[in-house]
Amino acid sequence: MTRSRLKSLIKDWLPPVFLRLYRKWDKGGIRYVGDYASWQEAVDHSTGYDSDLILDKVSTALLKVKSGEAVYERDSVLFDRIEYPFPVLAGLLHMAAANDGKLTVLDFGGSLGSTYFQCRDFLSVLPELKWCIVEQPIFVQRGRELFESDQLRFFFSMQECIEKEMPNVVLFSGVLQYIQNPFELLKTAMDTEAQYIIIDRTPFSDEDQDRLCVQHVPPKIYDAKLPCWIFSLGQFTETLSSKFDLIADFASDPIRGVGFQFMGSIWRRRTLPN
C-alpha cells in the first residue's frame, strides 16, 4: 500500500471491525504509543491495513449467519453462542418504546451488519425496524450486493442516509477514535433530527485534553499501526451535553494497564421548554 493510499484511508475512517479484532486475543498485546501534536504526525508513524482482506473474511462469515448456517459472527470468527451487547440493546429498545415501536438506526461504521445480526433477535418484535449502515465504499458495495434487505441498508455517507431515511438513533461503536476530526462527525450527528446517540467501545481517560497516539496491533491479530484518539471524558461529555442528556454510561471491552478505559453511553436529545 502506498503512503498516499494509506493517508487517504486513514483520513476518512477505518472500519470498526478492525478494532474488534483484538477482542478474541490477548488484549495485553496491543500498545498505545506517543502523544502526537497533529494527525499528520501520527499518520507519519503509522502503517496501513488490508481492508480487502478484512472485507472478504467478514463477508464470508456473515453470509453463514444470514443463511442460518451459523449463529453469530464476531471479527469474521463464527460462534455457536451470541454475545449480546445488552447496554446497546437497552438503548435501542428504550428509543423504540418512546417512538411507538419504530426504530431507525444510523450505524456509522457498521461493517456488513455485524451489530444488526447480533441484535436482530431482540429487535425482531418491533413493528418497524430499519438498520442503516454508513461505511467505506467497498463495504457499501459488498453490503448492497449480498446483505441488503427491507430492514438492512447501506450508504456511502451520513448525508445520503439522512436524505433517504429518517434515523431516530445514531450509533457510533468503536469508530470515532479512528477519525481525523471526530468532533466534526459527532456534531453532524447532533445536528440531525435523531433523538438518541449511542456511543460504544470508545477509549476515554480522565485527562483534561484528548491524546492522539498510535495503536500498535500485534501480528497475531493484524500487523498494523493506526492513529487513535484517547478522548478526554470531560470534553467529550461537555460536547454532547450541549444538546443531549445522559441516560446511562457503561464499561465496554476492558483493557488492563493502558491508563484509560473503553466506555459506552446513551444520550437523549434535550426537549427544550416552549
HEC sequence for the chain: CCHHHHHHHHHHCCCHHHHHHHHHCCHHHCEEECCCCCHHHHHHCCCCCCHHHHHHHHHHHHHHHHHCCCCEEECCEEECCCCCCHHHHHHHHHHHHCCCCEEEEEEECCCCCHHHHHHHHHHCCCCEEEEEEECCHHHHHHHHHHCCCCCEEEECCHHHHHHHCCCCEEEEECCHHHCCCHHHHHHHHHCCCCCEEEEEEEEEECCCCCEEEEEEECCCCCCEEEEEEEEEHHHHHHHHHCCEEEEEEEECCCCCCCCCEEEEEEEEECCCCC
pLDDT attached to residue 73? 63
Q: Is 36 among the domain residues?
A: yes
Q: Is 104 among the domain residues?
A: yes
Higher pLDDT, 14 or 62: 62
Q: 195 falls in which pLDDT band (50, 70, 90)?
A: very high
In the numeric block, which cell numbers belong to residue 233? 471524558
Share of the chain above pLDDT 70, in %: 79
Q: Is 159 among the domain residues?
A: yes
* Average per-residue pLDDT for the chain: 84
Q: 22 falls in which pLDDT band (50, 70, 90)?
A: very low
pLDDT attached to residue 217? 73
pLDDT attached to residue 160? 97
Q: Exposed, middle or buried, 94 (CB in 10 Å: 0-12/13-18/19+)?
A: middle
Number of domains in the chain: 1
pLDDT attached to residue 62? 81
Tell me if 226 sits within 8 A of 49, measured CB to CB. yes
Q: Is 172 among the domain residues?
A: yes
The Cα–Cα gap between 95 and 132 comes to 16
Tell me: pLDDT of 26 over 50. Answer: no
Tell me: pLDDT of 230 over 80. Answer: yes
Average pLDDT over residues 178-182: 94
pLDDT attached to residue 50? 61
User: What pLDDT, in 10s, does the model give residues 156-168?
Assistant: 999 999 999 999 9
pLDDT attached to residue 254? 61
Q: Output phi, psi for 149, to 5 deg.
A: -145, -175
Tell me: pLDDT of 273 over 70. Answer: no
Q: 74 falls in which pLDDT band (50, 70, 90)?
A: low
Q: Is 226 among the domain residues?
A: yes
Tell me: pLDDT of 258 over 50. Answer: yes
Q: What is the pTM of this model?
A: 0.84
Range(s) of the domain holding residue 133: 3-269
User: What pLDDT, in 10s, does the model give residues 96-109?
Assistant: 999 999 999 999 99
- For residue 55, which of 142, 144, 174, 157 has the smallest C-alpha distance? 142
Q: 176 falls in which pLDDT band (50, 70, 90)?
A: very high
Q: What Å distances lie between residue 83 and 71, 87, 115, 139, 145, CA to CA?
A: 10, 12, 10, 23, 27
Q: Is 121 among the domain residues?
A: yes
Average pLDDT over residues 24-33: 62
CATH, residue 7:
3.40.50.150
User: What pLDDT, in 10s, does the model give residues 32-60?
Assistant: 888 999 999 999 998 766 667 778 877 88
Q: Is 274 among the domain residues?
A: no
pLDDT attached to residue 2? 46
pLDDT attached to residue 99? 94
In the numeric block, which cell numbers belong to residue 101? 415501536
